[in-house]
Structures are given as structure tokens and as C-alpha cells.
Amino acid sequence: MLAVENLDVVYEDVILVLKSVTLEIPSGEIVALLGANGAGKTTVLRAITGLLDIHRGSITRGRVTLDGMRIDHLDAPGTVAAGIGQVMEGRRILAELTVEENLRIGAHTAARDAVGAGLERVYGLFPVLAQRRTQVAGYLSGGEQQMLAIGRALMAQPRYLLLDEPSLGLAPRMVQQIKELIVEINEQGTAVLLVEQNAAMALSVARHGYVLETGKIVMDKPAEELRADDDIREFYLGLADEGAVSFRDIKHYKRRKRWLS
């Protein structure tokens, strides 16, 4: 179990962006973390993966644990070694290197003899990457680059994979493909924390979901219940009227709905 407990995070000692955030990713499961722009989703991932300090952020209260052991003191390579892989927002592949070179970089913490097995797994999951292994990564399509970024994270054989908005900017067909791949990766035994604004996609694969609003967890429910929740449906599943999607959070949306009726 990977757990975040009562976490407060500040940036540059002043701005409190996470307020007592608690969430759990049980071993082997898919968990969704939903929220609007600026809610703090990426900050949660940075707190888990030891990347807060390079963004001048820090944990001021609470802790992050892996199987009960604190990991919030670890730096980024330390969290990878502990079994946590992540795909950052915006993919961040190395455009001038080939597909296979990108993948090998992902394996730099793995034992040398694990690299072959890692490549085999990744090429099995993403045949298109196998076809393009000697091509320069910058020439891949957006969806293929997302696959490469996920593949690179898998090369270190993580037990937990954190994905920051993997569907962002992709065409519906590619989103569907990424979704199927997430399910397959999970079936191979990797737990997934799926950060998404595409709630429909995330809740269709997750077992449990959390909704983050301006740094606070405001919903913590089985994905099935979130899918059935009217406010989630209207606000995050894009079923709301045009005007509503510009509101920052569900609370405002509900208030406005009451006011209009």
C-alpha cells in the first residue's frame, strides 16, 4: 500500500497548496485522482516522488508511506528504487534520442540483466515502439510519445505507476488505447495512480476515486459511486451545460445551480 496521510504542502514557504490530503493506493489496484486545473494533483505526485524540493515546495505536515515505511524523505531516484515510477505531465521524452535509448534511460536503476526483460515487456505492450525502436523519439506522434513515456517508467519495474494526465491532448481513439494499456499494465501486477481531468476515462478503469478541490480531498469513494454521482457526472464528465465548465469547483457549481433554480 502506498499512502499519503494528512499531507500539507507549501511552495516557497508561503502558499499552502495541499491541505491535509489523505489517499491510499492499495497494492495492485487502480486509483483515480480527479480535479480541475490548479487543484493540486501534480503537487500530490511531486510529494510522493521526491520532486517537491526542485519546485521549491515542501511537506509541512503529514507523511507518505510505502507498506508502512516513511518515504517522504527520499529524493527522486530513491523513490524509483523503492518501486515507484511516474510519468510526468507533458511526457518529457528525450526528443533527440531514439525510442530504445529513451527506454534504456528508464532502466538505469534496474539491474543490468533486467533491461532485456524490461524491453521485452514494453515492446510487448506497445508494438508500435518495437517497430520504431531505432527512430528518433521526437518524430513520434503525441500518443506514441505518451506510450514511450509510460514505457520508460515501466523499465524500472515499478510496483506503483503514477500517471499525470496521460490522456491530455490526445484524440479520442488514442485515449481509448491508452486506457486499455493502463488496464493491461495493471493486470500485469502494477498498481496505478491515475491523475486525470478526463474523469470518464479514469473512473471507467479505477476501483476507487478521489476528487481534489483547491488542495483538499472533497470526495473519496468507490469509482462506481463517483460515476453515479450527479455532480461528478455534470461537472467532470462533461454533461454540464456550457457555462458550468468554467467554474472552479463543484461547491461553486452546486451553489450556482441552486441559485438558478
Ligand X SMILES: Nc1ncnc2c1ncn2[C@@H]1O[C@H](COP(=O)(O)OP(=O)(O)OP(=O)(O)O)[C@@H](O)[C@H]1O
Q: Which is nearer to ligand X, 41 or 257 (CB)?
A: 41
Q: Which of residues 58-97 bind Mg ion (CB under 5 A)?
A: 89
- State how far Cα 229 lies from the chain centre: 22
Smallest distance, Å, CB 96 to ligand X?
26
- Under a CB-based contact definition with an 8 Å cutoff, are residues 154 and 162 in contact? no
Smallest distance, Å, CB 13 to ligand X?
10
Smallest distance, Å, CB 195 to ligand X?
7
Name the residue among 89, 88, 63 with its Cα closest to residue 74.
Answer: 63
Count of residues that interact with Mg ion, criterion CB under 5 A: 3
Residue 83 DSSP label: T
Site string for ligand X, 173-192 (x = CB under 6 A): --------------------
Q: Which is nearer to ligand X, 39 or 84 (CB)?
A: 39
The region, left, alpha or beta by phi > 0 then psi within -120 to 50, assigned to residue 28 is left
Site string for ligand X, 61-90 (x = CB under 6 A): ----------------------------x-
Asked if 91 touches ligand X (CB under 6 A), the answer is no
- Under a CB-based contact definition with an 8 Å cutoff, are residues 195 and 41 in contact? yes
Secondary structure of residue 200 in the 3-state scheme: helix
Q: Which is nearer to ligand X, 100 or 213 (CB)?
A: 213
Q: Which does 39 bind (CB under 5 to 8 A by kind): ligand X, Mg ion, none?
A: ligand X
Burial category of 173 from C-beta neighbours within 10 Å (exposed 0-12, middle 13-18, buried 19 and up): exposed
Q: Which does 17 bind (CB under 5 to 8 A by kind): Mg ion, ligand X, none?
A: ligand X
Secondary structure of residue 243 in the 3-state scheme: helix
- Grid cell of 134 as nine digits: 531505432
Q: Which is nearer to ligand X, 11 or 247 (CB)?
A: 11
Q: Which does 35 bind (CB under 5 to 8 A by kind): Mg ion, ligand X, none?
A: ligand X
Start-to-end CA distance of the chain, whole Å, equals 44
Name the residue among 42, 123, 36 with its Cα closest to residue 89.
Answer: 42
Count of residues that interact with ligand X, criterion CB under 6 A: 17
Q: Which of 16, 20, 27, 55 binds ligand X (CB under 6 A)?
A: 55
Asked if 42 touches Mg ion (CB under 5 A), the answer is yes
Residue 64 DSSP label: E
Q: Which of 56, 248, 251, 256 binds ligand X (CB under 6 A)?
A: 56
Q: How far apart are CA 16 and CA 250, in angstroms?
A: 20
Rounded (5°) CA angle 104-109-112 = 65
Q: Which of 15, 105, 183, 245 binds ligand X (CB under 6 A)?
A: 15
Asked if 209 touches ligand X (CB under 6 A), the answer is no
Judged by the rule CB under 6 A, the positions of this chain that interact with ligand X are 11-12, 15, 17, 35, 37-43, 55-57, 89, 197
